[in-house]
Amino acid sequence: MTRSEIRECAFIILFQMEFNDYDLPELIEVNEESFGIETDNAVFSIINGVRENKDKLDAAIAEYSKTRSVGRIAKINITILRIAVYEMLYCDNVPPKAAINEAIELSKKYGGENDKGFISGLLGSFYRENYEKDGKQNE
């Protein structure tokens, strides 16, 4: 699986978890049977990382969301944002700009017309504050 496919699988499962009480193995089984969605350790790593750090991720998102509280952010967008912020904070092998780009691509595919701008703006602010300090940049 490509890194984009891994993110998309994690996104689909995390998004579904916002709406139902399935446990993770059951949800994965349903997705494999119904939609042919493959999962592997990299997908589990993102899912578990986002779930374990959800409060920290939401706090970071809240700090940079100037127009909406976390509770008012559409579930598609909050799921995309959580994955991107998780990768930026906890995945050393993912360049921050790649996490942002992938989040924008997911928002284009799954979000509404204005979602791309919201996600791009929030993650851009997060990036500038956390990665461009003192003239340093992480690509």
> pLDDT by residue (tens digit) across 46-101?
999 999 999 999 999 999 998 889 999 999 999 999 999 999 999 999 999 999 99
* Res 136 pLDDT > 60: no
Q: What is the pLDDT of residue 6?
A: 93
What does the mean pLDDT of the chain come to? Answer: 91
The CA-atom distances, in angstroms, between 90 and each of 33, 97, 123 are: 31, 14, 15
The answer to whether 9 and 38 have CB atoms below 8 angstroms apart is yes
pTM: 0.91
Q: What is the pLDDT of residue 137?
A: 52
Helix axes 75-90, 54-64, angle to 10 degrees: 100
Domain ranges of the chain: 3-135
Neighbour count for residue 83 (Cβ, 10 Å):
26
**CA Rg, the chain, in Å?**
15
* In CATH, 3-135 is 2.60.40.10: no
